[in-house]
Amino acid sequence: MSDLTRMTAAELAGTIAKGDASAEEVTRAHLDRITAVDGKVHAFLHVDADGAIDAARKVDAKRAAGQELGPLAGVPIAVKDVLTTRGVPTTAGSKILEGWRPPYDSTVVERLRDAGTVILGKTNMDEFAMGSSTEYSAYGPTNNPWDLGRIPGGSGGGSAAAVAAYEAPLAIGTDTGGSIRQPGAVTGTVGAKPTYGGTSRYGLIAFSSSLDTPGPCARTVLDAALLHEVMAGHDWRDSTSIPQPVPPVVEAARRGMSGDLTGVKLGLVTEFDAGEGAEPGVMAAFHDALAALTKLGAEIVEVSAPHFQYALPAYYLIAPSECSSNLARFDGVRFGLRVGDDGNRSLEEVMSLTREAGFGAEVKRRIMLGTYALSSGYYDAYYGQAQKVRTLITQDFNAAFEQVDVLVSPTTPFVAFPFGSRTSDPYQMYLADLFTIPTNLYGGPGISVPCGLSEGLPVGFQIMAPTMADDRMYRVAAALESAVGTLTPPSLEG
């Protein structure tokens, strides 16, 4: 493995800025790494080698001309295949969009290009971001670099695995119910969900519009913060975008790296600390991390969030309801797959055949759940009640943040599980997001940072902050990282 692929994004940016390596050299090193190991990992659905080298050369040319460049100029990045990329295949992990090349960039991708980052390609994911293991990708699962027989989390397992396998120093994910944080936890990487509305959804293929949030994936907290600042900010094209400055997340991460948390109050959610449904090894690593944080000066305060226990069922009414509406646009008429259009069938028949062939089983399940929950006579009983629970969960967060600076919990109840062990029981699969979903329903930020191993596999530590106080979670995450270090997966060579 090239020394360049082992570097963090911050180190690579410094190396390029000093002229010790060109952006093109760094890009080629990562493309070589993808060629060497992605046959085993399957993190990427599409590698845009020519586009990446061209982008890197442009960065080198601007630097040679003396132009001022951003803090991540020349650094390679992978993008989850749910964000549109102009002229580059974008499938959302579904057969219904196979071969579609968008005519425009999403806002996040546009900002990445403007910042001079080099987009390597598009990463694998559960179809339309519906899943917790990347087993529901129409193009086959991604394998966890820690154990190729285990899942890398989901829905953004491809982005997390690419970072863990040193195929990219940075990646973009999206988090609807934990799809950045949970993959980060099980692959030993850092995954951050910004405040909802803090990053633009323009050009993000919608799953659940009131929950979907693009965010950074990285190997260190500082790298995640650097990417967060590049991709975040108000966007007039997204009606839910927050017209406020980006929180000072890089400054907070650097402050946290000093290892001083004196005066910081960490809220231990008693309902999560009970460990119900969590593996003992996960809880042990979590409590070891808590002990490390107290040594840095943090104060642990127990707080109760009584409605968190209803987050999982509320989420699985709200998200499928929104997805059943959003996915109605995939009708075989305007773009994507079209099946049965032989001149003899009606529009309804073509639409039905297209969706039958193009949507996978989990997507169909959620569309049916959502359509039922929104149907006449059931809306108030299901979707309406779930939204009331969402309000109660938000009130729990607000009450907790009157007592503490951040809330903490394990990121996920268990380490990476073997392929096929939960696909036959959807509820067991949904439990992977037990600890992450409340933050999505509230709309606040959350981050997962590695805190140790259980049975030789990574465990994630989750930090949740108030809305638009993303900097708080970065400070605590960086401090924890300074105390426990980062994790390195087994070698994929040989």
Active site residues: 80, 155, 179
294 neighbors 342 (Cβ within 8 angstroms): no
Tokens 């499928």 correspond to 320
Closest by CA position to 160, among listed 190, 135, 131, 138: 190
Q: Which two structure tokens, joined as six digits, stand for 235? A: 């966007």
Full strand arrangement of the beta sheet holding 265-269:
44-47, 118-123, 76-80, 170-175, 213-218, 190-193, 446-454, 457-464, 406-410, 265-269, 299-303
Q: How many helices (H) and strands (E) does the chain have?
A: 18, 11
The Cα 441–Cα 22 span in angstroms is: 43
- Decide: helix, strand or coil at residue 74: coil
The Cα 445–Cα 467 span in angstroms is: 6
Q: Which two structure tokens, joined as six digits, stand for 33? A: 């790494």
CA angle, corner 187, sides to 110 and 425, nearest 5?
A: 100
Length of the chain: 494
**CB-hemisphere CA count at 13 Å for 200?**
24
The Cα 158–Cα 210 span in angstroms is: 23
162 neighbors 47 (Cβ within 8 angstroms): no
